[in-house]
Amino acid sequence: MTSPFVRRRRLAAELRALREARGMTADSLSRLIHQSRMKISKLENAHIRPDLAEVMKILDALEVTGDKWHEIVRIARDAAERGWWDSFGDAMGDRQRIYADIESGAETIREYQPGAVPGILQTPEYTWALIELAKAEGPIGYLPERLAEARLQRQRTVLCPGGPPYEVILDEVGLRRFSVPPEVMRTQLHHIINIAETEPRVTIRVFPLVTGMVETLMPRSQLILFTFPDPSDPPMAVAATVSADLFHTEPDEVARYLRRYGYVRNAALSEVSSLTLLGELADQIIDQAGPHT
């Protein structure tokens, strides 16, 4: 399916551009269609699911006709679609719900992860260990059981036959500086190796501790790059922060993140060497933990 989140962002940009081309303010448009200024703002910033009838009213108010009218209505229909993640509501966590939405329509996914293992590669035990860490920090905004269930569904969606090619670069620092129990981390590393060896569309590489001179600015946090089948849906770069994710589709911004990802990829170990290192790290974890783990 086409990602509703991606289409909501495209619809927002299209409606804003059409309104501005008519020289009309959001206030004027809201009065014409008898809606609040806030409603127009949320629609033009992709903060709400569109109502198809309201989008048609906007197009009529902006005197949009012909092929453009049909194009915008098609985008609005896609933007209003619901996916499996909607049945979870807020219980799976807002951030994970957006990722599930985007992944559902992605053509390719590339990810640099400097810390925790990406959700698509996590074992249930690893996921639950992270949940316990989050609970120790304070109140959480999701239901643990539903989050864990949704994460498994995300994995089935991305790793299913016909799913998108998925490339992950794991930072050796994050692999060595783990925060889950040693036995959980060891099992997790073997799980990653197994996925890489059995899933032909999944590529796992490790960004090593020692790389020599860094030729460009490094990604400062988790970075995910998406492309989509429809060339009219622009590539997307997502930079994660502690409390929120930043979604970029502006060509200059996406190009900047592509350069940073490209450096990490060029400096990463080969696929074979990466899997060898993951196996060695798994053995080291148990050796260092001792017989009581």
Rounded-to-integer distance, Cα 193 and Cα 206, Å: 12
For residues 24-47, average pLDDT: 94
The tens digit of pLDDT for each residue in 130-185 reads 999 999 999 999 999 999 999 999 999 999 999 999 999 999 999 999 999 999 99
Alpha carbon separation from 37 to 8, 41, 43, 52 (Å, rounded) = 18, 6, 10, 18
Domain boundaries 4-80, corresponding CATH code: 1.10.260.40
State the chain's mean pLDDT as an integer. Answer: 94
Rg (CA), the chain: 22
Contact 237, 253 (CB under 8 A): yes
pLDDT greater than 80 at residue 215: no
Q: For 92-143, how does the pLDDT look when each residue is reduced to its tens digit (9 = 90+)?
A: 999 999 999 999 999 999 999 998 899 999 999 999 999 999 999 999 999 9
Domain ranges of the chain: 4-80, 87-289
Instruction: Report the side by side order of strands in the sheet with 108-113.
Output: 202-207, 166-171, 108-113, 223-227, 236-240, 245-248
Q: Is the pTM of this model over 0.85?
A: yes
Q: What confidence category does residue 293 fall into, taking pLDDT thresholds of 50, 70 and 90?
A: very low
Same fold for the pair 4-80 and 87-289: no
CATH class entry, domain 87-289: alpha beta
* Structure tokens that stand for 212 in this block: 């020599």
Q: Which amino acid is at 50?
A: P
